[in-house]
Chain A
Amino acid sequence: MSNKQTSLETLSDEIRSGMTVGIGGWGSRRKPMAVVRSLLTSDVTDLTIVSYGGPDVGLLVKAGKVKKVICGFVTLDSIALDPLWRAARQEGSVELMEVDEGLFYLGLQAAAWRMPFLPARAGLGSAVLETNPALTTIANPYPTGPFAIEADADAEFVAMPALNLDVAVVHVNVADTAGNAMVLGPDPFFDELFLGAAERRLVTAEKVVAAGTLAEHGPLERATIHRLMTDVIAEAPGGAHFTANPPEYPRDEAFQKAYVTAAKDPASWSAFTERFLSGDESSYQSAVESWRAEQ
């Protein structure tokens, strides 16, 4: 069995300029922040980011890494809006394909099933079809016959296109070197679909264990990410910080607040960037440690 484990740096290097990148997690929950941070200091640019958006989106956009964002929202959960995202949108500096959360789900599912689209009612009548003129509808192909439903005979549905990804990255609690992984927090979110939708599939984990020992670290039914879905594994303890990754750690609300405060003006943002986001992952983690000691 091949060993998929590598370093965080090598894993992050898989993401190159111009790629369409799916980022797992949801809002400010279990985001692969270590990989996001390593992109901030890289020379990668021109990314299309596909995300149930949180601080991953704000940070990458602010750092000039992003050409386009595909999402249904960008939120920090306990704080409604990511300030970096808000600023970028109000400056008009980033392209946005905004779709209903459920359409987004279907787009990932379509890609994972190798279908060009999946139909939905979601989006009908809304601005989603107007702000995305390339999206279209499809007539119910069963107006009559044994599969007809009278009330839908003349219906059109949104044909949500597959959100095919060049690369997807998710962060989990524990993975093994073969590429199986477990989410021990309450919600797997859409991570399996991100991985399924991608050509290249990256997983960072709080802890990487020997192949065949994953079940010693939690209930087997939590191992919903298996090695048919993954290519590269790297260990990144604290790799979702400051977003939530229970049971290892909750969202670091104090640090998230510091991020939001720093984002409010250029001077404090550059100080924040200098202190936390200019080095590698271990210097980030130690900068957070010393920040915490000051609080």
Chain B
Amino acid sequence: MSDATIADVCVLACAEAWRGDGEVMASPFGSIPALGARVAKSTFSPDLVLTDGEAALVAGIPAINARSDELIREAYVPYRSIFAIVWSGRRHIMMMASQVDQFGNQNIAAIGPHDHPKAQLVGVRGAPGNSVNHATSYWVPSHNAKAFVSAVDVVCGVGNDRAAAAGPGATRFHDLRRVVSNLGVFDFGGPGGAMRLVSAHPGVTIDAIVEATGFELDGVEGDVATTAVPTAEQLALIDELDPRGARHREVPA
């Protein structure tokens, strides 16, 4: 696997999420998705729009640890205007998920009952609105049966089954794309929009993925593809965008 680590493989797998997206806002959460969006923009999705995480769109492809004064800002987008983008659909977000289920329902609000959680998390944030308005993918840096669950405790991002049950208002722009974890890449091409294994990362067995997943995963029979490993050229780019190796802290080797 040359010098590439699983973290590098994950960066490329996240980048693939934005392939073919054209001119949309890429909103990555986590260091590895942030690198993925930059790799996508610098190679196959050059029209992607990145933000400074504050109130501006940034031109070019800054390193993920770039100082604020190193950024070239190309337009002004205060928080309120983000909703105009969300509701217009010109966005593809990659959120993290403390829990995700078979149909892509996601939880970032609380573990346990909502009225008295065992663990309070950050909150529903914009996940309900994001997931029914524009393309949505998920990043789970630690794939285990506590994260990949049969049912999430609080539905923040809306999955395929719940969107269908909520009717055409929810399904019209609902668009779950892929889930990337430290073990593999998944989409929702299974029966009824269920999660399906697309590829296992190099060195990861199908058994290990099945073991770490708390629901029945589609696509685990027969030959399963191996997630692409970055080329030397891509690795150099990833290094340049993440000189301090934040990706290796998110997914240790």
Among B118-126, B186-194, B208-216, B228-236, the one that faces the other chain is B118-126
Residues of chain B with a CB closer than 8 A to A99's CB: 124
Q: Tell yes or no: A32 within 8 A of B by CB.
A: no
Determine if B127 and A100 form an interchain contact, defined as CB atoms under 8 angstroms apart.
yes
Residues of chain A with a CB closer than 8 A to B170's CB: 121, 124-125
Q: Tell yes or no: A213 within 8 A of B by CB.
A: no
In the complex, A137 Cα to B132 Cα: how many Å?
A: 15
Determine if A105 and B118 form an interchain contact, defined as CB atoms under 8 angstroms apart.
no
Q: Would you give the 0/1 interface string for B122-151, flagging 1 where the beta carbon is closer than 8 Å to chain A?
A: 111111110111000000000000000000
Q: Tell yes or no: B48 within 8 A of A by CB.
A: no
A-B contact count (CB 8 A): 151
Residues of chain A with a CB closer than 8 A to B222's CB: none
Determine if B128 and A122 form an interchain contact, defined as CB atoms under 8 angstroms apart.
yes
B246 to chain A, nearest CB (A): 15
In the complex, A81 Cα to B111 Cα: how many Å?
A: 14
Of chain B, the residue at the smallest CB distance from A192 is B80
Of chain B, the residue at the smallest CB distance from A126 is B128
Determine if B54 and A187 form an interchain contact, defined as CB atoms under 8 angstroms apart.
yes
Determine if A121 and B129 form an interchain contact, defined as CB atoms under 8 angstroms apart.
yes
Q: Tell yes or no: B203 within 8 A of A by CB.
A: no
Among A12-20, A70-78, A164-172, A195-203, the one that faces the other chain is A70-78
Determine if B54 and A73 form an interchain contact, defined as CB atoms under 8 angstroms apart.
no
Given known A127-B154, A154-B167, contact A72–B172 (CB-CB < 8 A): no
In the complex, A166 Cα to B196 Cα: how many Å?
A: 50
A189 CB contact (under 8 Å) in B80, B129, B154: B80
In the complex, A85 Cα to B118 Cα: how many Å?
A: 13
In the complex, A282 Cα to B4 Cα: how many Å?
A: 55
Among B6-14, B18-26, B32-40, B158-166, the one that faces the other chain is B158-166
Residues of chain B with a CB closer than 8 A to A259's CB: none
Q: Tell yes or no: B67 within 8 A of A by CB.
A: no
Residues of chain B with a CB closer than 8 A to A102's CB: 83, 86-87, 126, 129
Determine if B168 and A100 form an interchain contact, defined as CB atoms under 8 angstroms apart.
no
A100 CB contact (under 8 Å) in B56, B124, B162: B124
**15 more A-B contacts (CB under 8 A) besides A72-B126, A121-B87?**
A72-B125, A81-B122, A92-B115, A92-B116, A98-B109, A101-B124, A121-B172, A125-B131, A125-B158, A125-B166, A127-B154, A186-B54, A187-B79, A189-B78, A189-B80
Closest 10 A/B residue pairs (Cβ):
A122-B129, A73-B123, A155-B169, A126-B128, A92-B116, A125-B166, A125-B158, A124-B170, A89-B120, A186-B55
